[in-house]
Amino acid sequence: MTDEITDSSGNVFADLGLEDAEELSLKAALAIQVASIIKHRHLTQRDAGDLLGIPQSHVSKIMNGKLEGITSDRILRMLLKLGRDIDIVIKKKSPKVDQGRLSIATPKKRVPVAA
């Protein structure tokens, strides 16, 4: 018996066949940043909730990747409250691809989100 290996599209949500794969990928990438900042600043979930203006239970959901009912816009506003600047840059796509791409760049890396 041989296992068949399929290359990833780069978006696990698309690979799973989910309709809103690009939005899910964006929300996940943004939520990872929120969780990382909370951990880096050694905030309790209660303190993070107070800072973000949300209940501790919502912080717990974000920290555990449970993002149902949370919009990417809301997560962007959380990043602002956590003291992060957000730059949105719109430019021409690469001539090598059919459509534009979306990625999130941090000082350490660039994370592709959608193609």
Q: Which residues contact 97 (CB under 8 A, 6 or more apart)?
A: 115
CA atoms within 13 A of residue 111's CA, in its CB half-sphere: 15
Residue 114 contacts residue 29 (beta carbons within 8 Å):
no
pLDDT in tens, 54-109: 999 999 999 999 999 999 999 999 999 999 999 888 888 888 888 887 777 777 77
CB count in 10 Å sphere of residue 107: 4
pTM of the model: 0.80
CA atoms within 13 A of residue 38's CA, in its CB half-sphere: 24
pLDDT in tens, 28-39: 999 999 999 999
